[in-house]
Structure 1
Amino acid sequence: MADSSQSPNSLSLEQEAASEETSHIRLEELARSSTELSRIVATNSSAAPQLLRELGYSADEITRRCVASNPNTPVEDLLELGTEFPEEFLNNPVLPLVVLENPNFLADMPQEALLIMLKHDAVPSWFLEWVANLDSDEHEEVLLVLLIKPDVPQTALSKLSRSQNEVIAQAAKLHVNLAGEMDEGWEEAAKTALEMTQWNFSGQEMLLYNVGIVPEFLASALPIFDDRNLTIAQNPDTPPHILQSLVENTESRDYVAAYIVENPNAPAAALKILLGDENHRIRDSVACHPNTPLSILQAYQQQLMTLKNPVTSAETLSELATSPWVEIRKGVAFHPNTPQAFLALLAQDENWQVKTAVALNMNTPCRVLEQLAHDESESVRAAVSYNPHTPEIALEKLYEPYDSVFAEHPNISTNFLEKLAIHPQWGIREGVAKNHNTPVSVLEKLAKDPHEGVRVAVVGNPNTPQDAIATLKTDPDNGVRCAVVSRRYRDKEYSLKPPIDSVFSEYPKILRTKARTMAVDIFVPALFVDSWMNDDRALLPLSTYQLQKISLEQLLEDVKSQDNKVRIGVAINPNTPLSLLEKLAIDEDDYVRRAVGTNLNASENILEQLGLDQNSDVREAVAYHPHTPVTTLTQLAEDRGWHIRKAVASHPNVPASVLNNLAEDATEEVKHAVFDKVKRFFDNSEFVSIFQKLAEELSIDSDFRSVIASHPNTPKSVLERLVKDKCRKLIAANPNTPINVLVQLTRDLDGSIEREAIANLWVRLTLNSELPHNDLEQIIEIDDVQLKTAIARHPKTSTSILEQLAQHSSCYIRTTVAKHPNLSLSTLKQLLQDEDSYVRKAALATYLQYFSESQNTPNSILEQWQVVQNPKTPPKVLVKLATSSWLLIREAVASHPQISTKLLHQLALDTCSEVRFQVAQNSKTRANILQQLSQDKTDRVKIAAAQNPNTPINILEQLACNYQWDTKIHQAAVKNLVQRRSPKVGTILESYVTDDEPSFTRFVIFLHPFAPSSLLTKYFRSWAWQERYAIAQNPNTLTAIRQQLARDSNCLVRAAAKANL
């Protein structure tokens, strides 16, 4: 479009283009006639929206700018033009009105456009208010850029200061319009705010810390603090007391444990703590560490074995309750014999697994369970809900909507059961239907439940009335109808033969199953054979008779009834007087007499009398009765009925002599009952003898093989016979399995069996100091580091085996060997020259301990060591020692305070890198030698050279530039340059700034006094107040930049800038 020259006529056209009276058609013609006229038309508020839309796409920038400021421009076009012309867009008079009508009008504007507009100098307050209402998580950067502006209204700042986004809230609270000017106290306030900052981490934090530029007050509050601890834990030069403090700090222990157990400097006290770590890999590493004393390993294993014994005394358990090891305290917390006072103590343990074990223990007091119900650990709270003794009040606090354990818990209230009966999940309703505490009215409703599983459970509940069961006889589901038939037969049987309590379990199966699973999950030292969790018996079906409250008068009347079922009800009633029981004990009806035999109030006289009864069911009830005299049990042990002899075998008071006879019973069921009885006794010699006799016989029975294979009292001959059976994993873990069998199992194709056998062998090596030489020779052939370490530590290990182990690739094994008193002089001398410094040190300590007198001859290593350890040894003597064949001596010479620079130069050429390392570390080493060592083939030597304060600046700069940031050489060189205030540091720090967004890395570099002015000038407008604060503090910041920061929106930035002007 060609421009026309100025003329009277053209001026008339300009007036026409600017006039609001000009028609739309004429304005359109004018806009198309010339660029100048199109610009004027674009400013005309009468121009048609369609024309303005067209002009908004003009190639002419001025025309588009005019369209952006025209109030008649369509709003969608304004949005597009706003990014290009933020000032015209924001000052368009129509925009506040549009936003007032439709607050979401600007919601679709790209974030980039918002940022461009906010960076404009003059932004109207209505726009600032609107931006302040944006979502703080989706528009965090936009809101932070908003908060840079000094004219944000207080109402907007007040809103943003309450934001859930802590970054936004912090920046808003520090805005000068809200916080006001800060003339004093700003440095402490800034420190506090920086410590609370949620930083953006780029992954370079550890680099910054290692080169020494991270302010110490920030290090402990940031993730790099953990990284720093990690570096300390990994460093083989870290002093033992520092490693000890890391382990004693429970907050850092878990993070650094895996590295401390691999650190050759780890002290015995730290390793003792970590021996009880939850992680078995940590425990295994401690067992292999050369600094772990054998006495500590033995103490731990002995305590662990004590916990696996179900008859360990309460006194012993009380002593172990304060063990420093989590695994031991966990075992005490789970043990059935632990006193309640110590369970209460362990309920306050810092470890969640210990508290979980307490929560699972049946003997834990209710008050303790109530306390644990509030524990922060979800696992602890779940364990509380699985304990059948947990009181009602705690259960209701723990309630989880979809956990059926609550519906079946024996202590849940009837009110709660009524609520759960209408739960949408049928499994929960089924649990309610199974619960023996569920009211009859609820059971009647559940009998009509749409799910067949719930109706089956209703039929099985002993409290369900016969009327409700009768309605289910014709249920459409076959399973429900079958349940009704089974219930009818059961009721008929129980009406005459009430169930014997000891034959059933009193705890719901769901509690037993969940508790057992959790015990396995937290790796308690043992699941005891008599634990309530291992009870697989059916739930005790409560008798309806027992639920009835019958008066004494009624009992006196019922005892005369002709109906034997009524008399049976009197016979089993716990409130029936002894006189009535004596009368019923001679009742003519067998079922009545049997019922008397099940009553816990029956006297010894009655039981003795019924023990002679002609009816075998009566005698069986007596055999199960807990108060039956031993004389009667002895008599019944010879009864002709095998089911009676079986009952005697399972009786808690049966003498060992009786069991010994029953162990030879002709009936297998009786033998099995004896076996189940004696397997619970680990220490009773009479019962152990019976167990061993039965183990020989029953080992062919697959039902008993697993118990026999795992039991510590199983004869070795039986274990050897079962070694090829499917239960060989249990044999591999059995403490009684012969060494030769375990060695054989370490070659098993099943890896889990191999691991069990190796673990068992390790325990034998640790606990048994008298293992014969041939056993050690068998074990040494197994390729396992843990076993070889244990052999290297074993007091009976022969000189020949130690010589073999001294060649092992593991420096930990060689270090352990070097400490052994049985080591031959030749092997010890070999280890004195070992490539690993810790092996050499251990060998030297042994040499000094055992050979200091016999081997202290002229020019021997002992004489040389004594000389070189003297800080006043003259340089001439050191010159001679510098050619010693012993590496330890040359190392000591290289670090000696009297060494000459000439001798240092000589040792810098030593063939051993350890000697050159000592030279590189020596503060006397001259620059030319350090320059040579900076090119050493060994990184450790180069690092030492980079750390030496005498290394020339230019060499340090080369090392810093030639190696990657993540290398220790680069970091050591840069740290040395920083300490020596090299001008090159600024360039290096600038190269670390690779982030496009504000970050912790950028902040630290902007704060450092070596940061270049050009870098600070580039970033002084950062939307992160922390970075602007760092630049305001930096001495290299230009005065003009600092003057601008003195007018910053952030009160801390302003204060810092003003203070440094």
Structure 2
Amino acid sequence: MEELMQLSHQLAIAAANNIDTTPELLTELATHQDIKIRQAIAGNPNTPIDVLFQLAEEFPIEFIKNPILPLLQLENTNFYTTIPYRVVLNILASEDAPEEWLIAFATTGYYDYLLVIVQNPQTSKQVLQLVAENQYCSDYIRRLIEMHVNIAQEMPSGWQEYADHKLQDILDSIASRFYNTGELGCNSYNNVKGEYYQFTFWLLGIGPKLQLAKASEYVREAIAKFSDTPPEYLRELLSLKIKITTIIEVAKNKNTPVECLIELVNHNSRVVREAAMRNPSLPRSIVNNFFQERCLVTNPHTVVEKLRELCTSRWSFIRARVAKHPNLELSDLEKLARSPEWRIRVAVASHPRADMHILKHLTQDKSILVRRAVALNSQTPQASLEKLSRDRHVYVRANVAKNPHTPSEILLLLYQEQDRRILQNLALNPATPQELRAQLQLQHIQSKSNYIYLWLRLFSAPYNYPGIEIKELPSQEQYDIAASAITPIPQLLELIKIVPDDIYWEAVHNIWQQVVCNPDVSAELLLQILDIRSVDIYAAVASHPHISDEICYKIANTKFRDLSGYRLRLLMLQNPNISLDFIEKSLFDITSEVRQTALIKYQEKFAHNHHQSFFLAYNAAISEQTPIETLIELAKHKSVLIREAVAQNSRLVAAYSDFVKARNCLKRLAQDKNQSVRLAVANNINTPIPILEILAKNYQYTPGIYTRYQRHHNRKEHKIFVVAVKKLIQIAPEIASKYLVQYIEPNCRTIDSIPFRLAILQNFPVPSEYFLQRLKTLYLFTWYERYLIAQNPQTSTEIVQILVKDSNRVVRAAAKARLNEKS
């Protein structure tokens, strides 16, 4: 059989070299596993052209030496343009690239072709000159030509000072944001993958300290979202000008300092305020204090003395709400009108009891929102309206046009502007002359119905795409009922079914504050309240003293789009009235934070009774005295908490090298179906290198992993990868480098990731096999990256020998010096 196979192999080699072999047989042999057979077919003139193109990428020299090529060029003068892109690159990068090929492609408009030509050490001065004269030649390519060994000759001395100076300039220019792309060899600004890499470098602790002030919004949001972000980073983020989505993530993060959460409760954005309120790290006493004050400022019967006390509240929302209260006296409004807070001045400008002196003063306010409020106030004097009708902001003038107390002569002057926003308000204003108003209504007012969608408000409401039409305009009375702290919750529950969105949200916030402030709300009414599709309502009920098991399971089983369900379960576990049954079930929760909180709560309940079956198993799992056989059995326990405890037990890890069963048990835990168990293995300070490698191998990059539309599964896998690789960096950098090379791929280079890429190339031994697989594309690394590879004392001799032949005089000099040191 062996003789027959050998004969068959010899026949295949003979057929591959025979110019009389049929194209069909050559096509079949082109996929042969023997490299010599494929190589012979690449040089066979009888091989079909499409097969030649496929083999040319692997065997560029055999392809260009194939006798059929000159004939093909005679048949088709544009033959060069038919050759696949990658084939051309491989040929141009080859040391045996024909001069006529280099000349032909040196005059093309393809940047990549020019880049590979100038980095070929065999490229002649004539070809380099052609590239330099090409209109598509970039500054970076010109720099490469200037440093080409055939132009500048060898560099026997001064190369290290030159390169180190250039590297420092590159790092300084990136840090200052004033960079020359001709020096960097990179025109690519941050993209999703590049920013993800930058974030990963920060997690791994590689490279320079991340400057949040200069980081992209993607990286900032990823840091804000990361569950283990140190508090000082979250505090620094809030000191910067960041997007609202990033602020929301800071408000959600459990590591955000309490003083920052208090600041966020004062934020202008309702979404930010509510996210901070729901954060389990914000003490419930602070939340209760806020809502106690909110109850007072929304109660129409609150006396003026108490309102004056609330003017100094720590909450800007409360202070602004005080300024709206109908019981304030004129003297109070006069003081508030001079407040440095624009929200308070807006409330005063809208107040029905504000007199002409206050309104005249606020007419000159620097805030457009204040002037808009003055323009709408029915008490605003004519002189002020006339002044506001000439305001530089159109929205102020539009509000003057909307005010039913604006004199007709001012309205007619505003009409002459012919601005759509002003004309629409004039059409609705009863003070507009009747004939003009009728004309404007025909032109600018379209019958537009107001619809509400109950299925978006109530869980019990059936899905109804068209919605329910509201035919009557909302009244001030409805708004007052929705906002009043004395409106009963059942009445508010009925009101939210019939009012537009602005009144609906006012009613929801009223229910929220009543649940927080009133400990006597019954469990039955709380269940009714949970029909409202609002995570804030659920957060309030989760902390209520009348919480029942039925309420707990309803909250736990309700899914919200922002994945905030686990935070609600954490809030319930902080409730001192939670039942033991719910705590026990929470020990098996899908979220690690909930399980850990439930465990602490469970231990508090059974502080003097550790004979419960769960406690016995858990205590055995964490004890270093537990026999190995017992730990191996506990590693199969249905409780994730117990498997996590076994994974962190130092005794099991210590037995790894001596006991096969312990080794298999740790491998099984490293491949556990639950990510928290795998993370516990990674976090064990004594986890062996082979196990860390198992954990590192399981992760593959997924775009968008830390954006708002990420999958939680991938985030957890990424966290395991980071912990495992970070450990490997500390104890086995040569092994860690196998998992870091994915971050130095040339096609992933962005300007902001360059410092981190350089840190990897400078400090880690990049595996030889990585470069050996990329010999044909080594030119894609910038000259200064290749220089660092040559300078790295851990780079293999094989790679250094390749860099000795580099086109760049600095890289060649560094490689020669390194080779001399090794010999």
- TM-score, scaled to structure 2: 0.55
**Equivalents in 1 of 2:574, 2:590: separation in Å?**
16
Structure ranking higher on relative contact order (CA contacts 8 Å, 6+ apart): 2
Return the offset for 1:941.
1.3
Aligned letter for 1:1034? N
Aligned counterpart, 1:585: none
Change beyond 3 A, Cα 1:510–1:223:
same
Change beyond 3 A, Cα 1:535–1:1026:
farther
Give CA-to-partner distance per residue, 1:737-785, whole Å, 9 cap, x none. 3322211234449676654432321122234455577754653555644
Aligned counterpart, 1:287: 277
Corresponding position: 1:981 with 2:732: yes
Return the offset for 1:943.
3.2
Return the offset for 1:148.
1.0
Structure showing greater radius of gyration is 1
Aligned letter for 2:265? L
Aligned counterpart, 1:787: 537
Aligned counterpart, 2:507: 757
Aligned counterpart, 2:782: 1024
Return the offset for 1:1040.
4.3
Change beyond 3 A, Cα 1:56–1:204:
same
Aligned counterpart, 2:55: none
**Equivalents in 2 of 1:179, 1:762: separation in Å?**
70
Corresponding position: 1:818 with 2:814: no
Return the offset for 1:1034.
2.7
Aligned counterpart, 1:863: 608
Return the offset for 1:918.
2.3
Return the offset for 1:147.
1.0
**Equivalents in 2 of 1:934, 1:362: separation in Å?**
70
Aligned counterpart, 1:245: 235
Corresponding position: 1:1011 with 2:766: yes
**Equivalents in 2 of 1:987, 1:1005: separation in Å?**
11
939, 942, 953: which one pairs with 2:675? 939
Return the offset for 1:308.
8.0
454, 467, 474: which one pairs with 1:727? 474
Aligned counterpart, 2:208: 217
Return the offset for 1:933.
0.8
> Secondary structure of 1:1010's partner?
coil
Aligned counterpart, 1:886: 614
Aligned letter for 1:536? P
Aligned counterpart, 1:192: 172
Contact 1:210 1:975 in 2 (8 A): no
Contact 1:931 1:952 in 2 (8 A): no
Return the offset for 1:59.
4.0
Return the offset for 1:328.
6.0
**Equivalents in 1 of 2:686, 2:160: separation in Å?**
51
Return the offset for 1:833.
7.2
Change beyond 3 A, Cα 1:1039–1:306:
same
Change beyond 3 A, Cα 1:962–1:295:
closer
120, 144, 149: which one pairs with 1:148? 144
Change beyond 3 A, Cα 1:1045–1:114:
closer
Give CA-to-partner distance per residue, 1:229-267, whole Å, 9 cap, x none. 65554455567x457636654456855443344445656
Aligned counterpart, 1:1034: 792
Return the offset for 1:912.
0.4
Consecutive unaligned residues in structure 2, runs of 5 or more: 1-69, 81-97, 149-154, 326-331, 351-357, 411-469, 559-564, 657-662, 703-716
Give CA-to-partner distance per residue, 1:656-676, whole Å, 9 cap, x none. xxxxxxxxxxxxxxxxxxxxx
Aligned letter for 1:941? V
Task: Write the mapping of 1:464-503 to structure 2, written as runs, cut at 5 A.
Answer: none
Contact 1:815 1:842 in 2 (8 A): yes
Change beyond 3 A, Cα 1:266–1:129:
closer
**Equivalents in 1 of 2:305, 2:402: separation in Å?**
22
Contact 2:800 2:818 in 1 (8 A): no
Change beyond 3 A, Cα 1:733–1:83:
farther
Return the offset for 1:217.
0.4
How many correspondences in the alignment? 594
**Equivalents in 2 of 1:111, 1:831: separation in Å?**
59
**Equivalents in 2 of 1:508, 1:820: separation in Å?**
53
Task: Write the mapping of 1:822-841 to structure 2, written as runs, cut at 5 A.
Answer: 822-823=577-578, 838-839=593-594
Corresponding position: 1:922 with 2:649: yes
**Equivalents in 1 of 2:633, 2:168: separation in Å?**
54
Contact 2:333 2:348 in 1 (8 A): no
Change beyond 3 A, Cα 1:340–1:83:
farther
Task: Write the mapping of 1:701-740 to structure 2, written as runs, cut at 5 A.
Answer: 726-727=473-474, 730=479, 733-735=482-484, 736-740=486-490
Change beyond 3 A, Cα 1:213–1:748:
same
Change beyond 3 A, Cα 1:1045–1:301:
farther
Return the offset for 1:122.
0.9
**Equivalents in 1 of 2:389, 2:786: separation in Å?**
65
**Equivalents in 2 of 1:503, 1:186: separation in Å?**
67
Task: Write the mapping of 1:28-43 to structure 2, written as runs, cut at 5 A.
Answer: none
**Equivalents in 2 of 1:978, 1:791: separation in Å?**
47
**Equivalents in 2 of 1:298, 1:127: separation in Å?**
76
Return the offset for 1:932.
2.1
Aligned letter for 1:745? L
Contact 1:274 1:286 in 2 (8 A): yes
Contact 2:586 2:594 in 1 (8 A): yes
The Cα RMSD (Å) is 6.0
Aligned letter for 1:779? I
**Equivalents in 1 of 2:318, 2:100: separation in Å?**
68
Aligned counterpart, 2:418: none
Task: Write the mapping of 1:514-663 to structure 2, written as runs, cut at 5 A.
Answer: 514-515=394-395, 535-539=403-407
Change beyond 3 A, Cα 1:896–1:737:
same
**Equivalents in 1 of 2:373, 2:481: separation in Å?**
33
Give CA-to-partner distance per residue, 1:65-110, whole Å, 9 cap, x none. 9xxxxxxxxxxxxxxxx994656999xxxxxxxxxxxxxxx8x955
Give CA-to-partner distance per residue, 1:217-237, whole Å, 9 cap, x none. 064379878666655544555
Contact 2:220 2:246 in 1 (8 A): yes
Change beyond 3 A, Cα 1:834–1:977:
closer
**Equivalents in 2 of 1:355, 1:1058: separation in Å?**
72
Consecutive unaligned residues in structure 1, runs of 5 or more: 1-54, 66-81, 91-105, 153-174, 348-352, 370-379, 390-499, 519-530, 543-722, 852-860, 866-880
Aligned counterpart, 1:277: 267
Change beyond 3 A, Cα 1:252–1:863:
farther
**Equivalents in 2 of 1:1057, 1:1029: separation in Å?**
11
Aligned letter for 2:732? R
Aligned letter for 1:147? R
Change beyond 3 A, Cα 1:835–1:998:
closer
Give CA-to-partner distance per residue, 1:997-1036, whole Å, 9 cap, x none. 7554865654452313465573554473442343343331
Aligned counterpart, 1:741: 491
> Secondary structure of 2:487's partner?
coil
**Equivalents in 2 of 1:221, 1:754: separation in Å?**
39
Return the offset for 1:916.
0.7
Change beyond 3 A, Cα 1:890–1:947:
same
Contact 1:1033 1:1057 in 2 (8 A): no
Give CA-to-partner distance per residue, 1:693-718, whole Å, 9 cap, x none. xxxxxxxxxxxxxxxxxxxxxxxxxx
**Equivalents in 2 of 1:147, 1:1027: separation in Å?**
15
- TM-score, scaled to structure 1: 0.45
> Secondary structure of 2:249's partner?
helix
Aligned letter for 2:208? F
